[in-house]
Structure 1
Amino acid sequence: MKRILFLLIFFTSTSTHASAHDFSGLGGWGVSFGYGQSLDRINIYRAGLLKQWNVKWLENKTGYMCGYFELSYNHWEKGGDDVNAVALSPVFQYVFYTGNATWYPYIEAGVGAACLDDYHINGRDLSSNFQFEDRVGAGIRIKNMDISFRYMHYSNAALKVPNDGIDILIGTLAWYF
């Protein structure tokens, strides 16, 4: 319980202030909705709550590194099998400067943790309710809207066998406040 309380405090503690000239909205909140499929056509539906970090690292003339936390609900389905999951992931982004204050492209990567209500789907045995959620992706932010495409992988990192894992391609639309 102390760990959950710590994560909630950490998740919400950064400032939500962004300067008028900083379009990136560092420190802001957002919501995301996504749809994708696994490589063997398991349907994936995803809704998330996003919290951007109020920091910039490695800033140079090309861009800078920043990031966000995503707390998500995931629903997987195929052929009568359903899996529900909750995940928390820190995600690092490299934002490219474009010379335009209304849009910018980025690349991202992150590794988080997920808790599944069932670890069997479509003949796959993920072996445990605990899974790591790995992601790499690219996107573009236009004003408060964010459009991204990601590759995601769920696996228990061989903590328990068999470790079939699942690979997902997903498109996401997010809105920041």
Structure 2
Amino acid sequence: MTQLYFRAVLLLIFSMKVTANDTNFMSVNVGYGPQPSAEVSQRNYTVGLDYEFYRYKRSEKQWLSLGVGYSYVGTDYEHNRSLHAVSLYPQLTLLATPYGEWQPWFFVRALAPTYLSEKNLGTRTQAKHFAFQAQVGLGLIHQPSKWNLALSYKHFSNANLYQPNDGIDIPLVFNFGKRF
């Protein structure tokens, strides 16, 4: 089943229109950290891939974009050890004034519809396979090369549409990518 999810994400990513105007952005991410408010000690980790395929530039300091993401999420808890998540995300990106070749940036994703392969991860339970992804982070863009670095916090839950709705969190996610 894992290969099916991975193939679906790759098919979606590579079927997107690719242009050479800085609209596309690909990043890999890895993350780890304790699950806040878990009944027992639980540490979650993730490895993922994000592909941003549309960007609406509101100004030199702000843009809205759409992308797809795949996340493998695991835990050190003895039961319900992993799941796969596929998301379609909207993202708001805010850019600060550059410092030499580096430009600080901030991003937020909210209400990104997500399919979860499992309803349980460790002690955390979602009522359905449907959830939302939320992610917030900040980082640096190397302007000449368009390489990006960021640290973020990633969360999955169903926004209390269904019960139970135990959120799944990865507190520290490192993102590394390139705009092309």
> Residues of 1 paired with 2:19 and 2:102: CA distance?
20
Q: Does 1:154 align with 2:156?
A: yes
Aligned counterpart for 1:145 among listed residues 144, 147, 164: 147
Q: How much has 1:45 moved relative to structure 2?
A: 0.9
Provide the C-alpha distance between the structure 1 equivalents of 2:153 and 2:173, rounded to a whole number of angstroms. Answer: 7
Q: Could you tell me the TM-score, scaled by structure 2's length?
A: 0.75
Instruction: Calculate the aligned-residue CA RMSD, in Å.
Output: 2.3
| Matched letter for residue 93 of structure 1 | T
Shift of 1:30: 2.2
1:133-167 deviation per Cα after TM superposition (whole angstroms, max 9, x unaligned): 11211011112211011112211011111111112
> For 1:157 and 1:87, how far apart are their aligned partners in 2?
15
- One-letter code of the match for 1:155? S
In 1, Cα distance between the equivalents of 2:44 and 2:174?
14
Unaligned runs of 5+ in 2: 1-11, 36-42
CA distance in structure 2 between the aligned counterparts of 1:12 and 1:103, rounded to whole angstroms: 29
Residues in 1 aligned to 2:56 and 2:161: alpha-carbon distance in whole angstroms: 34
Label 1:56 to 1:17 Cα distance change in 2 as closer, same or farther (>3 A).
farther
Identity of aligned residues (%): 23
The answer to whether the aligner puts 1:167 opposite 2:177 as a matched pair is no
CA contact (8 A) 1:38 1:44 kept: no
- How far apart are 1:68 and its partner, in Å? 2.5
SS at match of 2:127: coil
Q: Could you tell me the TM-score, scaled by structure 1's length?
A: 0.76
What residue identity is the alignment partner of 1:166?
A: I
Distance in 2 (alpha carbons) for counterparts of 1:138 and 1:145: 14
1:32-74 deviation line (CA, Å, top 9, x unaligned)? 11111242311111112122514224x5xxxx21132221111
Picking from 64, 68, 88, the partner of 1:67 is: 64
1:66 and 1:37, CA in 2 relative to 1: closer, same or farther beyond 3 A? Answer: same
Q: Which amino acid aligns with 1:163?
A: N
Which residue does 1:108 correspond to in 2?
A: 107
Alignment of 1:28-47 (within 5 A): 28-40=23-35, 41-47=43-49
Cα pair distance change 1:165/1:12, threshold 3 Å: same
